[in-house]
Structure 1
Amino acid sequence: MKSSNKILLLLLSALMAGNLSAKGIGDDKSRALSFPVEDVVLQPSWVQQRESLNIAWMKSLDADRLLHNFRVNAGLPSSAEPLGGWEAPYIGLRGHFVGHYLSAASSVVRKYGDSFLHDRLDYMVAELAKCQSALGDGYLSAFPATDFDVLEKVFGGVWAPYYTYHKIMQGLLDVYRNTGNRQAYDILLGMADYVDRRMSRLDEATISKMLYTVQANPSNEAGAMNEVLYELYAISHDEKHLKLARIFDRDWFLRPLAANEDILSGLHANTHLVLVNGFAEGYDRTGNPLYYDAVSNFWEMLLSAHAYVNGSSSGPRPNATTPTSLTSEHWGLPGHLGNTLTREIAESCVSHNTQKLTAHLFTWTRNPKYADAYMNTFYNAVMALQNHETGACVYHLPLGSPRQKKYLDSQADFKCCNGSSIEAFSLLNNNIYFHSGDTLWVNQYIPTLLNWKDRRVSLTQTGDLLRDHKAGITLSMKKSSKLVLRLFIPSWSKQTAIFVNGERAGTGTPGSFFTLQRKWSDGDRIEIRFDFGFRIEPMPDDDRTIAVFYGPMLLAFQSPDEIWLKGSASDVVSGLKVTDAQNLVFSLDDGGTTYRLKPLFEVTDEPYSVYVRTRKLTE
């Protein structure tokens, strides 16, 4: 990226940060703020290698193929080959992946100034502007506006037009925020105006029916329209956008959650999870405690009663009325997970959006339980959905015995989950560090370079947590400075030792932050040594079904057969061994049978088991 463009982007970012504080509650001193994506750069590691696979795949896609359906819908010529999967010309969701692509590519441009993706985004935005102009009323999509007519009349009958419309709006908003492309913002304003005009023609009874999404696989799924409109309001300051966002905050879902009523059973998971992310943005913009209560209560319900051991969720619906709901994508009865281990649980979109929500809650509360959950989801749900050899991603991440990952064809099968996955893997550097005033939280231990501009301090994190069980942090500054560093101590590390410049500073308490408050100088170094160990986690409703962890890593048994163990919980733990620390290989001796295990995020095409059965009740 040219230096002049980079300066413009930094000025734009600063301006937008001011807008967020002015229109929301972003200036609340009790918050821990995440850093802009360009201020945290991944350093060489296995995590950076995963990011590189993702970037290479994004660059391999053809821009004209991505634009094809938009041009056809606008009556403009296109000779490109259409994409496949849910981007095929006859599929109602066509256009959704392009929104994900705009978001992910713009994050890469902002972080690295990638000229290839920068030029591609400029080209795509300019072509989308032509499509919008040809349609003439602010509307922009790859499907006809008549889909909305059908939705408003029969409250279904078409496949989720607002869901797809949101993805495109979000992509354009992210392009504007991340690259400063004003044309993207102008297109976005036209799209919002179009929605506003449609909604203004409808009475409340019609809107309520149109946005009531309790059925299986709801075709009226609205996506995160509330979230993108709240984000737009933070920039535009236009009360019209705030009012429009609130239309998509449905009281039938919001108010029971705020009252701590678990109404999740039977609901389509990702339809409603993204609504909660929208409620989080609503709280940021308005400070309304109703949103705060709904978000925090929902998170507790989800993680305590509906999530699997890796923080992912979604599976068969208790009352299955569609083929999909027999096996996937829905929440079940609270605390009843033992009989849900189909081959299509744990939708990748759900894992990604759960991670987003967890990070949001940490910024509000600074509670270490959110850092703990985020770390678990990061390693065992998000990183596990990508093939570390090819970069391909899964739609579902099955956890039963035996199971196998099914990867989406990266050039032909464009589904929602490879869309959300390219966003997740373009933001692997996000939410590692948080700050407020002179305090820095270190929530993840991943090799990175942090530029803490407000304090004129840079921080270099080194080490291989998973193999060497330690992390190093070196501070660089021109002038000594008083800072408070809060180092996250995961719940799985029972004896964590912290050293400053070679001298022991103390032992961290599991599931908390260890505080270092002092005057720091250039070159000061911190080392954190973690206590890795094996543990088992049972199903909440079946303590004979267990999963095995080593440190933060969820382990998978390497076998094509169903796994039935002979021992009890204590027998299993005592029989586990580290076979090859550098290659993350483990073994279990169980009553004369030896099993090989490795982290779920290292599994590619081979059969595996995560949840396995024991013959004795756990002790």
Structure 2
Amino acid sequence: MWKYKYIICLFALWLWCIRGYANAQDTTQVYAFPIESVTLKESWIQYREALNIDYLQSLDADRLLHNFRINAGLPSSASPLEGWEAPSIGLRGHFVGHYLSACSFVVKKYHDGILGKRLEYMVDELSKCQMALGKGYLSAFPEREFDILETKAEGVWAPYYTYHKIMQGLLDVYINTGNVKAYDVLLNMADYVRLRMEKLSAQSISKMLYTTQANPANEPGGMNDVLYKLYRISKDEKHLKLAQIFDRKWFLMPLANNVDILSGLHSNTHIVLVNGFSECYEITKNPIYYNAVTHFWDMLAYKHAYVNGSSSGPRPNVTTPTSLTSEHWGRPGQLSNTLTGEIAETCVSHNTQRLTSKLFEWTCKPRYADWYMNAFYNSIMALQNAKTGEYVYHLPLGSPRRKKFLNSYSDFRCCNGSSIEAFSLLNKNIYFHDDKNVWVNLYIPTVLDWKERHIKISQEGDFIRDQKAELTVASDSAQFLSLNLFIPSWGKGAKVYVNNHLQGVAAENSFFNLNREWRNCDCIRVQFDFKFRVESMPDDKNTVAIFYGPLLLSFQSAEEISLYGEKDDILSNLEVSDRESLLFVLNNGGKKYYLKPLLSIEDEPYSVYVRINKLYDAE
């Protein structure tokens, strides 16, 4: 009997694999244009990028290198950094990895001489530190941190997390600037990890990489992600095998089988592993990884995310002070009671955008473009203070709340690091392509230079104020091109014009296709009609947020907001008071409320999610 059961199990497994393989092959591969092909034109978004570049240029390389030199026994006269880069902090060195990545993106795009020379200097000095330490090791903390991790799986603060940041920074420097020394240092770092892993038993590795607890001190970062990316370049099987060590089956397999195990997990620990899974799928085409990635995104988007695409908050089983308020995923679909002042960690939002763009490249599905646009305006752009360039660790969405901006020169937390990368990549994922077609997913003033096709596409205007997108095609000769214009889920009734001739009315959450022979200076206009709408919490229809077109609005008040009436009544009493300044007014329950986009909030108190009470007693 057991033989028949065994055969049945094998047959079921075969069917599951075939179904997974079929799903994995049901894709339309497109690619985001490289960052050097897309230039931001003058706009409020380009201004936000400039704030970030100014900050990158302002930092002192020797202060960034200080802990590395001290750890390697080399002299340093620089003052150590503070916050999470202080000499006593376990994560010291992590921000340097983010900094290398962010600077390399700016150098790739703009050939920035200041940052280009700084990268050369820092890589040279990091190489000296690696040689002084020996064995390929490079970090700002001593090797004994790994010894403790391997024996106890606790008692240290995430050494692999920090190690990954440095490796990723060096990889980005090599890819974006061609610095061969950065690649050599990276190879040595990978060999160091490989030699450590070869000495460990499978049981020891499993214990070391089991991260189900609150705020796991053994958080490995994106080690699988960076090693898969390294393998793409090196083609060395040892890097592929090393990356797969960090793909833990306890996390991978439930996701592949569409089992939501996110409740209680530390958000950024695990979303970066899923980014690594996506890299593995692209290399191996293993359907298990495809299914894990796509199922994870669905779980996150529809069961664990807030209205602006961000996620993370209090943990259902509170065991640490942090897990009481932040950084974890809760129970599926239960978000209304999680609105603490420390939800929506910036690192998680950034990594969600990375994953979402990857899924769009695999499928061209509008829902991923829709999600990306929403999070771009209402999560990513809302992280930065438009006056100071400072960033938040968390993005509170309750009533009332305040943004707590990190000090750029004394905090150096993980979200400082993720933010400088995100704002170095504001021109990424606007345009996608295959061999013959272009997809326009965001309406941002830019110039796309598709050199291989000798075509340029230029965008003008202010989408969020003018409610339209204007594009111009430039080409030396007439060319056939299929241009796909994204119409978001709120964009019903958008009208598309070519050279002022109406081409059609677009359906929401779709791509409007213009397949024609384009001539130089052909002009396209997509005219939107921004409307107000109310979005509810999945578990409480009376806890709501208000949108205007693509923009998530926030109430400007230090008081808790409680509205009265039905949703339609609320919407009928909303109006635009100043289109240029994006200010709005709501009359409700005998009060006048003032609103503006969440991305415009700086130091003032605000509310995003508010309560609706059905009845109002005028007396």
Aligned CA distance change for structure 1 residues 91 and 570 (closer, same or farther; 3 Å): same
Distance 1:432 1:30 in 2: 18
Alignment-derived partner of residue 581 in structure 2 = 583
Displacement of 1:494: 1.5
Supply the RMSD in Å over aligned alpha carbons: 1.3
Amino acid at match of 1:192: A
From 323, 344, 351, the counterpart of 1:346: 344
Alignment of 1:554-569 (within 5 A): 554-569=552-567
Deviation, structure 1 residue 28: 11
Picking from 397, 400, 409, the partner of 2:398 is 400
Q: Which moved more, 1:563-572 or 1:194-203?
A: 563-572
Give the match's secondary structure for 1:116: helix
The structure 1 segments of at least 4 consecutive aligned residues displaced by more than 2 Å after TM superposition are 27-30
Distance of 1:28 and 1:302 partners within structure 2: 22
Q: In structure 2, what is the Cα distance between the partners aligned to 1:288 and 1:29?
A: 14
Structure 1 CA distance, aligned partners of 2:324 and 2:28?
44
Q: CA deviation at 1:571?
A: 1.3
Which residue number in structure 2 is paired with residue 499 of structure 1?
497
AA aligned opposite 1:141: S
Partner of 1:84: 82
| Structure 1 residue 453, shift from structure 2 partner | 1.6
Residue 286 of structure 2 corresponds to which residue in structure 1? 288
Shift of 1:567: 2.0
Structure 1 partner of 2:299: 301
Partner of 1:190: 188
Separation of aligned partners in 2, 1:336 and 1:523: 51
2:107 is matched with which residue? 109
TM alignment of 1:47-126, pairs within 5 A: 47-126=45-124
Q: Tell me if the contact between 2:228 and 2:240 (Cα under 8 Å) persists in the aligned partners.
A: yes
Q: How do residues 227-306 of structure 1 correspond to structure 2 at under 5 angstroms?
A: 227-306=225-304
Give the Cα–Cα distance (whole angstroms) in 1 for the partners of residues 583 and 565 of structure 2. Answer: 21
Report Cα offsets for 1:257-285 as digits up to 9, x if no partner.
00000000000000000000000001111
Please give the alpha-carbon distance, in whole angstroms, between the structure 1 residues aligned to 2:219 and 2:358: 23
Task: Tell me: CA distance 1:365–1:28, structure 2 relative to 1, closer, same or farther (3 Å).
Answer: closer
Aligned to 1:383: 381
1:528 positional shift: 0.6
Task: Give the whole-Å Cα distance in 2 for the aligned partners of 1:230 and 1:49.
Answer: 34
Letter in 1 for 2:93: G
Give me the TM-score of the superposition, normalised by structure 1: 0.95
Contact 1:224 1:275 in 2 (8 A): yes
Local SS of the residue matching 1:86: helix
- 2:16 aligns with none
Contact 1:280 1:292 in 2 (8 A): yes
Amino acid aligned to 2:587: D
- Note if contact 2:56-2:99 (Cα within 8 Å) is conserved in structure 1: yes
Equivalent residue in structure 1 for 2:220, among 222, 228, 235? 222
- Contact kept? 1:29, 1:436, Cα under 8 Å: no
Query: Is the Cα–Cα contact under 8 Å of residues 490 and 508 in structure 2 kept in the other structure?
Result: yes
Distance in 1, matches of 2:208 and 2:257, equals: 24
| 3-state secondary structure, aligned to 1:579 | strand
**1:568: Cα distance to partner?**
1.8
Which residue number in structure 1 is paired with residue 536 of structure 2?
538
What's the counterpart of residue 489 of structure 1? 487
1:410 aligns with 2:408: yes
Shift of the alpha carbon at 1:203?
1.0
Partner Cα distance (1:454, 1:33) in 2: 14
Q: Return the alpha-carbon distance in structure 1 between the equivalents of residues 73 and 587 of structure 2.
A: 65
Equivalent position of 1:23 in the other structure: none
Could you say what secondary structure the match of 2:369 adopts? helix
| Counterpart AA for 2:196 | R
Q: 1:107-136: per-residue Cα shift (whole Å, max 9, x none)?
A: 000000000000000000000000000001
Residue 43 of structure 1 corresponds to which residue in structure 2?
41
Between the aligned partners of 1:28 and 1:307, the Cα distance in structure 2 is: 26
Q: Which residue identity is paired with 2:129?
A: C
Where does structure 1 lack aligned partners over 5 or more consecutive residues?
1-26
User: Residue 603 of structure 2: which of 602, 605, 615 is its match?
Assistant: 605
**Aligned to 2:575, what secondary structure does the other structure show?**
strand
Equivalent AA in structure 2 for residue 138 of structure 1: G
In the aligned structure 1, how far is the partner of 2:144 from the partner of 2:103? 30
Describe the superposition over 1:206-255 as per-residue Cα deviations: whole angstroms up to 9, x where unpaired: 10000000000000000000000000000000000000000000000000
Q: For 1:166, which of 164, 167, 173 is the aligned residue? A: 164
Q: TM-score if structure 2 supplies the norm length?
A: 0.95
Q: Any idea what SS the aligned residue of 1:345 has?
A: coil
Aligned amino acid, residue 598 of structure 2:
L
The answer to whether the Cα contact below 8 Å between 2:27 and 2:362 also exists between their aligned partners in 1 is: no
Aligned to 1:200: 198
Residues 27 and 363 of structure 2 are in contact (CA less than 8 Å); yes or no, is this contact kept in structure 1?
Answer: no
What's the CA shift for 1:290? 0.6
